[in-house]
Amino acid sequence: MKFTPLIFLSILISLLASCEEKPKKKIDIKPAVEIVKKSFPQHSYSNIKEVHTTHLHLDLDVDFDKKTIYGVARHEMKNYGAKEAIFDIKGLKIQKVTLGHEPEAEIETNYVVGESDSILGEPLTVTLDSATTFVNIYYQTTEKSEALDWLDPEMTGGKKLPFLYSQGEAILTRSWIPLQDVPSNRITYSADVKVPKEMLALMSAENPVEKNEEGIYHFEMKQAIPSYLIAIAVGDLVYEKLGENCGVYSEPNLIDKCVYEFEELPLMIKSAEKLFGKYQWEQYDIVILPYSFPFGGMENPRLTFANPTLIAGDRSLVSVIAHELAHSWSGNYVTNKTWNDFWLNEGFTVYIENRIMEDLYGTEVADMLALIEFQELEIELKTIAAGPHPYDTHLKLFLDGRNPDDGMTTVAYVKGAMFLKTLETRVGRANFDVFLKRYFKEYGFKTLTTEEFENFLREHLLNPMRIKFNLKEWLYEDGLPSNCVKIESKRFNNIQALANKLALGEDIFKVKWKKDKIKREDYTTQEWLAFIRTLPDTLPQGTMALIDKNLNFKACGNSEIMAEWFVLGIQNNYKAVFPPMRKFLIKVGRRKFIEPIFEELVKNADNKVWAKDLYKTARNNYHYITRSTVDEILNN
């Protein structure tokens, strides 16, 4: 339902008035307590088999002064005779709940907020009659709304206006919207959002490309999506078109750099369509968020959220954008039914990302990207195997009773991709591509489990070709099977040989002719990562200084390389990295970089003291996701 500005304002006035009232009706809490005691394989309290949302409309007022969103979540539901609907919330303040389609004819109903679970949040149980199809939840966010990051002006590029963004995956959307927060229930949604008039609001939906005088924006997501993909960003944003159906948003100070960095986005879209079928979402845009964003990118449909660390100035980190674009097929179009099946999102996406990079930049580049990721997988497999949950090396996970974020490891991403690469090698690329197109067509805008994928794979690929394959081992057993495809790279071998020479005391930078001098720009990001990873953590201080003098990794502007160099610097007690590392840790909130640096710092008592002192300054610059990770590392 699309609201005119006049109607929308009247609703907001009513909403803000209601926010001052105490909840009028309560029911016995015992049923909700019993709900908490059950097992939740989908990490949700919701009773979607009895009643589930089909469309969600949001009326939102974004208040930067109070750092609060005042909202109404209007659920249009399919009811199979249920007398109650259970929604997921976490840290929200519920004002009232009503039934009915028209705002002026809503009838208030009973509800209860159950006991809180540190992972799942709280069940919100709403009384219905068996014919109820419209439920309206009036609420406001609080400081406990973990999905939201409210940034003061000094944490933005322009330093004049604040910024807000959300990060919902896996189960944090419930902390800013009351809903049935489960990936198996795909819904359409719309929204009317009021923000300060000098700011632009964006969502994972059809978006405006410029600000308006009223500061009121309407959004439509007409394709059904899982709840974790509902997202919002509000800030001083401008837009530049990159192609027929793609473009980029950023703060004004970054827009020219963004246009250069992501200029090849139209080629990526064409490549992906050629390989895997038509792009189903009409528009593909990117919004560059402030540095506190906890990930490199998040695949919110129609609008990828991205970290400015991707802007290296040389397009060397665009594989992250290829990854988020690939989610338009795997994850967004075809979705894991539960978080135990997370590899179906990410394993396929890493595989597709690699195919896009191969198509555009060649096999050599794609292989180097895959090798760097495989190195990370090998390390994490050993760490997991030695930890409390060794079965987390399986593709099919068992995360019941645990935070689904625990499954977001390189196992889902890289072991999943290596499984698909191994399958491709076994059946032949042409046959595998035909299968993949059939898979996306069959499960488009649907969800599935690992077991359902296994059956589909057997029926439509392995059995018709009479091919035996160790599926059970790949999907349900520990570690990497012995038939995992091997990837080789001469360029990696060469750069690793250079690192070994340096480690043995040879000055690789001393050459007779200037043209033969090793320069940073002559090698890719992945080659330098392999170089740094090959070096021992017992290098002489003079060797570290020699590398610094000739390659200046610590200030090169490429966050991937800088973070890797900082870790090696900590291991070698190379104090020259600490000042730039401090600036980096205060500025950048991307967890991929922050986590290994802090993990290395706490291994030494003096460095741990240094890290704790720095964290007092840096902590508020991080999103909840990164904060919670570092808090655990530092035992805060």
Active-site residues, by number, are: 324, 413
Q: What are phi and psi of 408, to 5 degrees?
A: -90, 65
Tokens in use for 171? Answer: 């189960």
Give the helix/strand (H/E) hosting 617.
helix 605-618
Q: Cα(248)–Cα(225) distance, rounded to whole angstroms?
A: 22
Contacts of 87 (CB under 8 A, 6+ apart): 45, 46, 75, 123, 124, 126, 137, 174, 178, 179, 180
Strand partners, 121: 117
Buried b (16+ CB within 10 A) or exposed e, 543-577: bbebbbebbebbebebbbbbbbbbbbbbbbebeeb
Helices and strands (DSSP H and E) totals, the chain: 21, 21
Contacts of 5 (CB under 8 A, 6+ apart): 214, 216
Q: Do residues 338 and 449 lie in contact, with contact meaning Cβ atoms separated by under 8 Å?
A: yes
Q: Which of 45, 127, 145 is nearest to 90 (CA)?
A: 145
Strand partners, 113: 124
Q: Cα(393)–Cα(384) distance, rounded to whole angstroms?
A: 7
Strand partners, 70: 61, 140
Q: Do residues 352 and 329 lie in contact, with contact meaning Cβ atoms separated by under 8 Å?
A: yes
Q: Cα(480)–Cα(460) distance, rounded to whole angstroms?
A: 25
Q: Cα(140)–Cα(61) distance, rounded to whole angstroms?
A: 9
Q: Which of 238, 232, 357 is nearest to 300 (CA)?
A: 232
Triad 621, 625, 631: Cα angle to 5°: 75
Q: Cα(395)–Cα(476) distance, rounded to whole angstroms?
A: 6
206, burial (CB in 10 Å: exposed 0-12, middle 13-18, buried 19+):
middle
Amino acid type, 589: G
Q: What are phi and psi of 34, to 5 degrees?
A: -65, -35
